[in-house]
Structure 1
């Protein structure tokens, strides 16, 4: 595709004219979640002002920990916009299934993609080191993320944790759910988004999970990938190509298309605890936990 075609495929606010309504709904749901759920806010996992997280705890000690990584094309949004993701797992109505951490990370253009990915991995290492003190099981950490957060989930799934911290287990991350994820950053480097990201080609390549996959430690982390039926062709292709490559590399992967959903309302189900058995994204995450033998 030329730049104009790529811009059209990846300009999601243009593709979803009502996106401001989605953002407003997320904020209302997140305000309600923070009012309803016990949590510790703004825990620092690094030295940058945005290297912080909110931790939503459940009463039972030793439950799994689900880490939510927000989107915003690595340039926007805040963890406070996504507190609602905790409702589907940490609330009483959800059966206090898991603790939930919602993280922030430094944003472009202030920092480059290498720094963003490194901060995300640093957050997961901090949570592993501090999970027991926070009441969670450090051996049962899962990640889920949306859009740019989906990219960071896949990046973390391929991390060599022992190279980053010799005491860390190689299976520090037990599973990942990438929602509307981006796994090949070469098209991003060639479209309007790169005006803020400022990636050169080597940077886009080394931060592309699709291209890192052949060199990742084995065994691969079980993954679930979800895309909305109404998303652009580029997002369907990102998921399809990565799912096929992940499977071919020997990884367990669930590829899901959420009916009638676009890039933003695909997240709505995370803010609801009803549903037995849970369906949609909540169901996918719980299947990951069950498949790893944790429940």
Structure 2
């Protein structure tokens, strides 16, 4: 339906709702370049054969610390892990390792392909924990926007099906920011689906809100108060579907779809504090 397509295209076009989004992206680039210059980091580690299967690793200042894995957004078709290096210092300074993963962007890859790449990334990290000196029993996944969808898919994954050495509770917690957890509306969001090429058959198998968690890993959610009603609805959907493990939704009344990432990366902010609390609670 034309009206439905127009509605969803308006609701999910986050950049159109943020007039200064070019400034935000430029600031992220500058802050991320600074983080890579001034902090220890291992860049472009290979976790798979495809050119998009790379990750950056920012080590903690202490041995055997937990690992925070951040998955970037961009509608599965834009942005790069290097755009989000600015997130790492707020967590390494607090004593945690940080990995930022990449993936092949749509339309070169489907969402199914991208999910499988993130499964490979987390499996690779788990298997290389000793080499990079982090605790494989304390992996927490975080994601923003499309990255929050991918992070939730990692929480729904039956890990032993992807490797007999992988524990069912490989992911010990999640931080899900402004995510898309039911993909049905994206079928009707023309400006996005032109690249994603989602079909009706994809929705059930790629919507974490339509599937159970693999185990009861605790998670926190956040959605900016300045975001569209659809992004708020999507967050509420997952909170209801996975109610038993949901710890809290962090209130961000003044944040939009982009500045929520700034909140995540700012020590002293409520979202950063909730994320640190979750990381500390892993065992």
TM more than 0.5: yes
Quote the RMSD (CA, aligned, Å).
1.3
1:222-241 aligned at under 5 Å gives the runs 222-241=218-237
Cα separation, 2, equivalents of 1:50 and 1:233: 32
Distance 1:21 1:101 in 2: 25
Change (3 A) 1:28 1:271: farther
Tell me the distance in 1 between the aligned counterparts of 2:277 and 2:174. 11
Mapping of 1:276-287 within 5 angstroms?
A: 279-287=269-277
Alpha-carbon contact 1:70-1:104 (below 8 Å) kept: yes
Q: Match of 1:140?
A: 138
Check conservation: 1:157, 1:221, Cα contact below 8 A.
yes
CA shift for structure 1 position 285: 1.2
Question: Does the 8 A contact of 2:57 with 2:99 survive in 1?
Answer: yes
Q: Given the alignment, which residue of 246, 253, 258 partners 1:259?
A: 253
Shift of residue 24 of structure 1?
0.6
Matched, 1:246 2:242: yes
1:289 to 269, 279, 282: 279
Distance in 1 (CA, whole Å) between partners of 2:184 and 2:12 is 12
* Distance across 2 between alignment mates of 1:115 and 1:84: 27
1:158 to 156, 159, 162: 156
Q: Is the 8 A contact 1:86 1:270 kept in 2?
A: no
| Count of residue correspondences | 280
Give the alignment partner of residue 38 of structure 1, picking from 37, 40, 52. 40
Shift, 1:153, TM fit: 0.7
Which of 6, 9, 12 is 1:10 aligned to? Answer: 12
Q: What TM-score comes out, normalization by structure 1 length?
A: 0.92
For normalisation by structure 2, the TM-score amounts to 0.95
Confirm or deny: 8 A CA contact 1:89 1:98 kept in the other structure: yes
* Deviation by residue 1:193-228 (Cα, 9 ceiling, x = unmatched): 111100111112210001122xx43x3211111100
Write the mapping of 1:77-96 to structure 2, written as runs, cut at 5 A.
77-90=79-92, 94-95=93-94
Aligned match of 2:119? 121
Moved over 4 A (4+): none
Could you tell me how far apart the structure 2 residues matched to 1:21 and 1:75 are?
Answer: 20
- Measured after TM superposition, the shift of residue 160 of structure 1 is 0.2
Structure 2: 5+ residue runs without aligned partners? none
1:49 Cα shift? 0.2
Deviation at 1:167, TM superposition (A): 1.0
